[in-house]
Amino acid sequence: MFEYDPVLYSRILTGITLAVHVIFATVGVGIPLMIALAEWMGIKRNDEHYRLLARRWARGFVITVAIGVVTGTAIGLQLSLLWPNFMQLAGHVISLPLFMETFAFFFEAIFLGIYLYTWDRFKKKIYHFLLLIPVAIGATASGFFISTVNSFMNAPRGFDIENGVLTNIRPLEAMFNPATPTKVAHVLSSAYLTSAFVLAAIAAFAILRGKDHVYHKKALHLTMTAAAVFAITTAVIGDFSGKYLAEYQPEKLAAAEWHFETSTEAPLILGGILKDDNEIKYALEIPYALSILAHGDPSAEVIGLEEFPEDELPPLIVHYFFDLMVGIGMFLALVAILYVLLAKIRKWNQLNKPILWAIIAGGPLSLLAIEMGWFFAELGRQPWLLVGYMTVDQGATTSQHVDLMIVLFVLLYIVLCTTCATVLRKMFINNPVEKELRDRGME
Ligand code: HEB
């Protein structure tokens, strides 16, 4: 039925691997920060509940780290096996942050090990907390380094090509390319936001199920306060990402907004369906908003898709990915800010059912926004693998066995994800908070 096509199959396999990996990578970057916040609160307020929070989050975190290591290794392998031509060119230029990412991970893993085994071992609790700092730095640094590699694919810099030969390689310039600031900041901020929301959803679920120990309320309050902060930073940085695109990858932004003709006072298109002749139906138009997103000026000119050759246009489906991401972003910000405001006004109850349900929905939705953000960023780069230098077709392997690899890797991911879910469930259900509070004499 399908004709074997190594390029298509390589894209599918890499896409599936990344879609799985990004879940674990995102919580891997964000949760150490949340653990640090909880333990810090515990020490500052001398409150054992917060320390127990840190302890339980850390236990769950280890499981997700383990899965992240496996899927991350799969990506490393697939980069060289499925995209040999890309690695041959890019490997020379961008290997610095690729190595640094591995280094940052080792740094994190070593201290995580020590951290886990030294609860209650120090007379001064702050020493234990200090062990977490390198863990959080290592986690964020891996996210930083690997995002610079993705930035490089979008805005390749730091090398010259003379007669087809790579010369004059400048690794730092490659790493700190024009896409780096917004990409790195948006990736990190959205990882913190998502981690806060996932943990908040768990606490909200416990409260909704009638568990009324103050432990859950403290967990919810801490995570939702963090979520409110990071929802705002994510949206603000997302706006800068839009300005980056307008300057360096205008075709990606135009594809996201179905903006066909270059024009001033461009509106933002929400939803809708594309008819023949590029006619947009059933969409919500926000006047001037695209000009503002692109240039911070309601009358600014925004470049349309008409200015690019037909064979260099990204797929127009990215419009929906972008809308979903932004829509979810707005929802998360609204819920988090509302929660914080309600919690401030004592007479009102921030623990009412609709808010709790919205927070619970926010957990999976934030993960969906992460997926949509990456789908937009990656498909929006098509047909390029390395913008301006190498298309995806040119970068791929010609191997005849990628289809079999897809089957094998998908089986691996299914096993990994079910194992992760089962272990986490067992770990927390066999040892509920209430029991652990009692065992530790903290009721
Ligand atoms: Fe996002 C991406 C914007 C929200 C996640 N973002 C992206 C982009 C843009 C944006 C423009 C592209 C960039 C490039 O390509 O370079 N966002 C935005 C905005 C907002 C947002 C405006 C507001 C609302 N996001 C968001 C959220 C999330 C996200 C909420 C989650 C949670 N994104 C994301 C990701 C990505 C994106 C992950 C991929 C990476 C990059 O940066 O690229």
Mean residue pLDDT of the chain comes to: 92
Helix (H, G, I), strand (E, B) or coil at 435: helix
Question: What does the pLDDT look like over 94-120, one tens digit per residue?
Answer: 999 999 999 999 999 999 999 999 988
- Whether ligand 1 lies within 6 angstroms of the CB of 193 is answered as yes
d(CA 396, CA 384): 12
Residue nearest to atom 33 of ligand 1 (CA): 373
Q: Which atom, in ligand 1's list, is nearest to the CA of 326? A: 24
Instruction: Give the torsion through C-alpha atoms of 366, 105, 19, 220, to 10 deg.
Output: -20
Share of the chain above pLDDT 90, in %: 75
Cβ within 8 Å of residue 123, ≥6 positions away: none
Closest CA to 202 of 332, 367, 364: 364
314: DSSP letter: P
Closest CA to 140 of 93, 77, 184: 184
ipTM for the complex shown: 0.91
Given a contact cutoff of 8 angstroms between Cβ atoms, the answer to whether 182 and 244 are in contact is: yes
Best of 241, 244, 257 for a ligand 1 pocket test (most atoms within 8 Å of beta carbon): 241
162: pLDDT confidence band, cut at 50, 70 and 90? confident
Best of 325, 330, 370, 384 for a ligand 1 pocket test (most atoms within 8 Å of beta carbon): 325
Residue nearest to atom 3 of ligand 1 (CA): 238
Provide the pLDDT for residue 2: 66
d(CA 290, CA 336): 26
Cβ atoms within 10 Å of 233's Cβ, excluding its own: 16
Question: What does the pLDDT look like over 47-89, one tens digit per residue?
Answer: 999 999 999 999 999 999 999 999 999 999 999 899 999 988 8
d(CA 201, CA 361): 7
d(CA 387, CA 155): 6
Residue nearest to atom 11 of ligand 1 (CA): 242
d(CA 433, CA 74): 35
Closest CA to 13 of 336, 407, 329, 429: 407
**Element holding 64 (H helix, E strand):** helix 48-82
Given a contact cutoff of 8 angstroms between Cβ atoms, the answer to whether 135 and 108 are in contact is: yes
212: pLDDT confidence band, cut at 50, 70 and 90? confident
What is the chain's length?
443
Residue nearest to atom 36 of ligand 1 (CA): 373
Residue nearest to atom 30 of ligand 1 (CA): 329
124: DSSP letter: S
